[in-house]
Structure 1
């Protein structure tokens, strides 16, 4: 799986989990299962980032943590207005 495909799968799974959580509750078995699937996708994404960073040399002035944080934050950021619609 490529980074772009993984990002799309994470966004889709995140939206599914939000819908399940809002309709069935956070303690529902389906919601928990979806959350675990999202965790697996995030772990896969992290592995892809590590592989990608090992194949291309990092700029010595940019540390890995800032790159990783930027990517994860971009994927997981939820617009505040979606909670009020």
Structure 2
């Protein structure tokens, strides 16, 4: 079952309601996302990305995952 960019954004927004989120991609499996959020302050890049991946609630888990690939950029607002 394919997933949409809007669905990905909604999942991320549930965990990061104040974030600036951009999700691109339209093939249903491969996407790129940028998440800019103040809550990332003090976290290293790996911690930031793990937090975002956790917000996807298993959508990327194994071969049965709806989301095959997500190129993820995270940062603190500048």
TM-score normalized by the length of structure 2: 0.32
Which has the larger Rg? 1
TM-score normalized by the length of structure 1: 0.30
More helix by share: 1
More strand by share: 2
